[in-house]
Amino acid sequence: MISMMSTGLGSFMGNVMGGLLQDCFGLSIMLIAGLIMTLIGSLILVVFSLKQLKTHAS
């Protein structure tokens, strides 16, 4: 039930925000925003992975 709520809520918010960006600013801005969020998420993943490797190595 909890995973259904979190997945459903995330999908809902993503669809609403993507639709608003596309309606207000166009498709290219929506795609640029998605690219920026993907890069930020990747950076967070790399930083925490390196931090965890550093913790396990010592």
- Whether 16 has a pLDDT exceeding 80, the answer reads yes
Q: What confidence tens digit (pLDDT) does each residue in 2-12 have?
A: 666 667 877 88
- Please give the backbone phi and psi of residue 30, each rounded to the nearest 5 degrees, phi first: -65, -40
Angle subtended at Cα 50 by Cα 46 and Cα 52, rounded to the nearest 5 degrees: 120
Residues 27 and 38: their CA atoms lie apart, in Å, by: 16
Cβ proximity of 21 and 33 under 8 Å: yes
pTM: 0.65
